[in-house]
Amino acid sequence: MNIAVIGTGYVGLVTGVALSEIGHTVTCIDVDPKKIAKLNQGIPTIYEPGLSEMMLNNQQRGRLHFTDQHRVGLADADVVYLAVGTPQRADGSADLQYIEQAALDVAGHIRRSAIIVIKSTVPVGTNLRIKQLMLDHLHPGVTIRIASNPEFLREGSAIHDTFHGDRIIIGTEDKDTASVLESMNKPFGIPVIKTDIASSEMIKYASNAFLATKISFINEIANLCEKLGANVEEVAKGMGLDHRIGSSFLRAGIGYGGSCFPKDTNALVQLAGNHHHDFNLLKSVIEVNNHQRRLLIEKMLGRFGSLTGKKVAVLGLAFKPNTDDLRESPALVLIPELARLGAEIVCYDPIAADQGTKWINVSAQYTENVADALKDADCALIITDWPDIKRMDPKTYGRLMRQAIVFDGRNCYSIPQARAARMEYYSIGRPDVV
């Protein structure tokens, strides 16, 4: 198949690379010429384990191309994926301007009939509106069929997820389109669920909302555990063994972030509201998450009284390990708040430090390694459970810091480990070690 992918962000680039890996000829198109120039040199524009090698290999085999010219990239396309961003608007709803523009770009340039696959996460009803928008702008004689194919990859394991996902959802208006896409995806060896377009769009939002609910639920249990002297890790283990509950997404912490859960939960609340449905459960999930992010600042203030002049080592900026993505990371809330409270901030992140300097507009120092960040710090604040932070000998804190006081938003160390290292240790949903 000749495939064009519009957008080379986390989803578009990974999709394009993976489709070329299973043998299709793929051209990825992006409006950002700087990204395209880098990609054409074989340099990925995002950090994802395994992406670089796979991308380069398929470029060398002549199956994967990049261009900033829609006309060139769309010339031979049988199938066109739309994978542009659908960020959050100020009112919480999904901003559809990029996908509408991408749809217009495609409609204006395709000269042969094609299947248009919407990979971006869009509110229920959007696929059909996009179809109509395109129909109004197609060249005479060109026809399109539309399909919803939401993406479930997780940043940090995007390549793995694309090849080992739990399901591929294909929502179409007709069986033939679904069959074409099913056979196109067959080499992935992942179960395909064929459904109608509205259900497909809803599956994506419902899945993310459910996972966010699980996180906020365990975080509320964690907050109760702290008050009642229980340990949330023991509780989560005991709950998770029940197969009806499952153990994933039951790790307490400083809340979910990233480019999907916050915006998709807000968009679903908005969508429900537009249809006179008050989604109270999801509103609470969001509220719990917003509160959870600030918990450790409250604990720090409880411990120190004031943070003015205190040197705080911030460990991890990304919203989770193995990604350079800072979108909606708790770091974006916590670091400005620390600055407002007068703290001196030293940050370490193995991959996302460059993004930090771009996104976080407060005075902070960035270091190349954990040790430099910890040196002479009054306390450490762990935001991301990067492997090198988790694997670090907890005694390192005492060796390098003024005093080994650690506020851990990801429960990186066990309570016995913290005791053995003689740390003063505050974590989430577990007893303090003082």
Q: Is 124 in the site for ligand NAD (CB under 6 A)?
A: no
Task: Pick one of 1, 31, 221, 392: the residue that binds ligand NAD (CB under 6 A).
Answer: 31
Task: Pick one of 26, 39, 54, 84: the residue that binds ligand NAD (CB under 6 A).
Answer: 84
Q: Which stretch binds ligand NAD (CB under 6 A): 96-104, 220-228, 379-387, 413-421?
A: 96-104
Residue closer to ligand NAD, measured from CB, 85 or 253: 85
Q: Is 69 in the site for ligand NAD (CB under 6 A)?
A: no
The residue whose Cβ lies closest to ligand NAD is 9
Backbone angles phi, psi at 211, to 5 degrees: -65, -40
* Closest by CA position to 319, among listed 345, 282, 349: 349
Q: Which residues in 336-395 contact ligand NAD (CB under 6 A)?
A: none
Task: Pick one of 77, 79, 80, 85: the residue that binds ligand NAD (CB under 6 A).
Answer: 85
CB of 9 to ligand NAD, least distance (A): 2
Which two three-digit tokens encode residue 375? 């040196």
CB of 260 to ligand NAD, least distance (A): 5
Residue closer to ligand NAD, measured from CB, 121 or 223: 121
Residue closer to ligand NAD, measured from CB, 212 or 421: 212
Q: Is 101 in the site for ligand NAD (CB under 6 A)?
A: yes
Q: Is 102 in the site for ligand NAD (CB under 6 A)?
A: yes
Q: Is 259 in the site for ligand NAD (CB under 6 A)?
A: yes
> 3-class secondary structure for the chain?
CEEEEECCCHHHHHHHHHHHHCCCEEEEECCCHHHHHHHHCCCCCCCCCCHHHHHHHHHHCCCEEEECCHHHHHCCCCEEEECCCCCECCCCCECCHHHHHHHHHHHHHCCCCEEEEECCCCCCCHHHHHHHHHHCCCCCCCCEEEEECCCCCCCCCHHHHHHHCCCEEEEECCHHHHHHHHHHHHHHCCCEEEECHHHHHHHHHHHHHHHHHHHHHHHHHHHHHHHHCCCHHHHHHHHHCCCCCCCCCCCCCCCCCCCCHHHHHHHHHHHHHHCCCCCHHHHHHHHHHHHHHHHHHHHHHHHHCCCCCCEEEEECCCCCCCCCCCCCCCHHHHHHHHHHCCCEEEEECCCCHHHHHHHCCCCCEEECCHHHHHCCCCEEEECCCCHHHHCCCCHHHHHHCCCCEEEECCCCCCHHHHHHCCCEEECCCCCCEC
260 in active site = yes
Binding-site residue total for ligand NAD (CB under 6 A)?
27
Task: Pick one of 19, 25, 44, 151: the residue that binds ligand NAD (CB under 6 A).
Answer: 151
Q: Is 201 in the site for ligand NAD (CB under 6 A)?
A: no
Q: Is 7 in the site for ligand NAD (CB under 6 A)?
A: yes
Task: Pick one of 153, 254, 331, 373: the residue that binds ligand NAD (CB under 6 A).
Answer: 153
Catalytic residue among 260, 347, 379, 412: 260
Q: Is 156 in the site for ligand NAD (CB under 6 A)?
A: no
Residue pair 247/240 in contact (Cβ under 8 Å)? The answer is yes
Residue closer to ligand NAD, measured from CB, 169 or 412: 169
Q: Which residues in 11-30 contact ligand NAD (CB under 6 A)?
A: 11-12, 29-30
Q: Is 6 in the site for ligand NAD (CB under 6 A)?
A: yes
CB of 304 to ligand NAD, least distance (A): 36
Q: Is 100 in the site for ligand NAD (CB under 6 A)?
A: no
Residue pair 191/46 in contact (Cβ under 8 Å)? The answer is no
CA–CA distance, 281 with 155 (Å, rounded to integer):
26
Which two three-digit tokens encode residue 47? 């950090």
Task: Pick one of 3, 20, 47, 105: the residue that binds ligand NAD (CB under 6 A).
Answer: 105
Residue closer to ligand NAD, measured from CB, 12 or 350: 12
Residues forming a β-bridge with 418: none
CB of 190 to ligand NAD, least distance (A): 15
If one counts every other C-beta atom within 10 angstroms of the C-beta of residue 325, the result is 25
CB of 258 to ligand NAD, least distance (A): 7
CB of 11 to ligand NAD, least distance (A): 4
Positions that interact with ligand NAD (CB under 6 A):
6-12, 29-32, 35, 83-86, 98, 101-102, 105, 120-121, 151, 153, 155, 259-260
Positions marked active-site: 260
